[in-house]
Structure 1
Amino acid sequence: MNEASGHARAQEPWRRYLPWQGRIELAFWILAFAIPAAANTMVALMDAQRDGYALPAWQPALWEGSSALVSLLLLPGLLALCSRWPMHADTWRRRLPAYVAASLAWSILHVVGMVLVRKAGYALLGDHYAIDDWPRRFAYEYLKDVRTFALIVIVDHGYRWFWRRLQGEVRLLDPPDDGSAPEQAGLPERFLVRKLGREFLVAAGDIEWLQAAGNYVNLRVRGRDYPLRSTIAGIAAQLDPDRFVRIHRSYIVNLDQVASIEPLDSGDARVHLRDGTALPCSRRQRDALRSRIGAPAATA
């Protein structure tokens, strides 16, 4: 790859976004809960003023703030669920019951959490917070929570879908029309990458390493990650064992890319690649990797 093409690739918008991705996503979710909470607080105060009764500003602020705070604390678990077991056209029927059960758990934890925060807030301000009719109140809260839950799932799935399309998504080549295997011995030598309506081929030998990511495996090729719809075990069985080796339950590495192996005190290791990347290597896989690259096995 020449310098000009490398510079052009580095200037792609999604690559400039990468260093900021985590912070932008965190800011988005904070604002997604904070803005409605502030708006609902203002509406409650305006309704109270319109109806002619005194409502201390701290009360609606605490009601809405506690709900937003607990929702944010529960958010990582829901996003992890979406990442580990995403719903697609071929999986949504099987996974929908799990998401429904998760929405119930979300609502229970949300209600209990915000009630505890409100009780603490009221106590600090010399007041008392109580709920008389718990079943009815929970049914009311669940109807609100399930909409929030569904919206988060939809936004997260949509964001992940758009991100995959922006980066490019890879899949195995389809068999030819005559039904013969696309590659000899069942080991694919090329993968088909689809990116924003364009398709191109990636040689298996250009894959530097692979990482499990939920229902996907990210293929690292020349600094880019291409998600492949597969499990790490499934793709491992289709790669050339003379070229690729599994070094961790979540990682496979191209032996040609390995520069050195750094033993760790824990018994695990760190695999350093030629481009400076460091990957984890489990204790179970360490000696096997050392033997594959011709290094002597580590002593206990």
Structure 2
Amino acid sequence: MRMDSRSFLDWYAPYRTGFEWGFWIVLYLVNGVANSLVRVLEIEAADSTARWEPIVWECSSALALLLLVWPVVVFTRHWAWSWSHPVRWLAGHVLASVVFSLAHVLLMVAMREVAYRLAGGNYDFGYWPGELVYEYLKDARTYAGIVLFIEGYRFILRRLAGEARWLDAPPDGRPDRESDDDAADGPPDHCDRFLVKMLGREFLVPAADIDYAQAAGNYVNLVVGRREYPLRSTMKGLLERLDPERFRRVHRSYLVRIDRVAEIEPLESGDAKLKLVDGTELPCSRSYRSGLT
């Protein structure tokens, strides 16, 4: 049976989180084992280094990198590419790479200290300023590789899912407003359908079918059932296009269709947790709770 992109995404959706984590775990597991084997084989007979030491070095580094993948995923989700601010985008990633390298070094040194103490030894990282520069030169390349892979993976998923645009949007798919602060003669009319272009095909989706939407950098992901359609827009711009009787903003990064909310669970902080009819849970900020009642 031939599987098109929509069928593939429907099949893939329940396994997506497991696949993504599984990929990184296998990658760094294989990397740690392979590098350990190479380092062990490099030890000469006259070398005083015990064979377990390079295993600790390489595995601690691999585990530290694995723990840092999730923060990079979150950061790239909020620090999305912008054609209008490329230098700012690049500067943000340079700064993030420095933080990434420092975190990597601190985590792996802590792991090595614990391992050496358990073995009755003492770990010496060396001259910290020089070692930090050396580690950053390696970590900067690793960070760039992780970011490129994440963005490439997201790009492929967006192409398979199909990018959405309003029927009256410009042909290049850019939003009518470049930012929330742009002035306009008046709010745009509410739209009852949006267009999805997917692998050369186009089809219409009723706006009333949107369950909720989540901000993701320069995009807002429109969630319709088990499918997500990325729309190049701001959250404010999206709200102006939707029927205010049906949709409410519940968080700086989320809006929801009112009739999809099954339960509102207040939290001690004053915020709330929303449970949709399909079991999905969304955050609700205290400043937006009143709009649900």
Q: Matched residues in 1 for 2:140 and 2:12: separation?
A: 31
Note if 1:246 corresponds to 2:240.
no
Unmatched runs of 5 consecutive residues or more in structure 1: 1-7, 291-300
Residues 261 and 270 in structure 1, CA contact (< 8 A), matched pair in contact too: yes
Give me the CA root mean square deviation: 3.0
Q: Is the 8 A contact 1:271 1:281 kept in 2?
A: no
2:141 alignment partner, one of 123, 126, 147 = 147
Partner of 2:239: 236
| Change beyond 3 A, Cα 1:63–1:205 | same
- 1:171 is the counterpart of 2:165: yes
Match of 2:208 in 1: 205
Higher relative contact order (CA 8 A, sep 6+): 2
Question: Contact 1:271/1:279 (CA < 8 Å) preserved in 2?
Answer: yes
The CA deviation at 1:263 is 5.7
AA aligned to 2:145 is L
Structure 2 residues not aligned, in runs of 5+: 177-186
Q: What amino acid maps onto 1:203 in structure 2?
A: P
| TM-score normalised to structure 2 length | 0.80
Aligned with residue 84 of structure 1, among 78, 82, 90: 78
Cα deviation 1:164-189 (Å, max 9, x = unaligned): 11122212234589xxx9xx953333
Q: Mean Cα displacement is larger for which, 186-195 or 161-170?
A: 186-195
CA distance 1:60–1:244, shift in 2 (3 Å): same
Counterpart residue number, 2:183: none
Q: Give matches, 1:176-187, under 5 Å.
A: 186-187=189-190
Out of 46, 59, 72, the position equivalent to 2:66 is 72
The letter for the 2-side match of 1:209 is Y
- Change over 3 Å in CA distance of 1:100–1:288 after alignment to 2: closer
Alpha carbons of structure 1 residues 265 and 95: separation in structure 2 relative to 1, 3 Å: closer
Distance 1:40 1:138 in 2: 20
Is the Cα–Cα contact under 8 Å of residues 250 and 283 in structure 2 kept in the other structure? yes
Sort the Cα spacing of 1:254 and 1:134 in 2 relative to 1 into closer, same or farther, 3 A. closer
SS at match of 1:186: coil
Asked if structure 2 preserves the Cα contact closer than 8 Å seen for 1:86 and 1:157, the reply is no
Q: Distance in 2 between matches of 1:117 and 1:271?
A: 39
Q: Structure 1's 235 and 80: CA in aligned 2 closer, same or farther, altered over 3 A?
A: same
For normalisation by structure 1, the TM-score amounts to 0.79
In structure 1, the residue matched to 2:54 is 60
Rg larger in 1 or in 2?
1
Distance 1:176 1:118 in 2: 56
Where do residues 1-300 of structure 1 align in structure 2 (5 Å cutoff)?
Answer: 12-49=7-44, 53=47, 55-174=49-168, 186-255=189-258, 257-258=259-260, 260-262=262-264, 264=266, 268=272, 270=274, 272-273=276-277, 279=282, 281-290=284-293
Q: Secondary structure at the match of 2:211?
A: strand
1:153 shift after superposition: 0.3
Deviation at 1:21, TM superposition (A): 1.4
8 Å contact from structure 2 (residues 218, 233) kept in 1: yes
What's the CA shift for 1:215? 3.5
Deviation sequence 1:14-58 (CA, Å, 0-9, x none): 222222211211111112212122111111122224x76464221
In structure 1, C-alpha distance between the alignment counterparts of 2:36 and 2:84, rounded to whole Å: 42
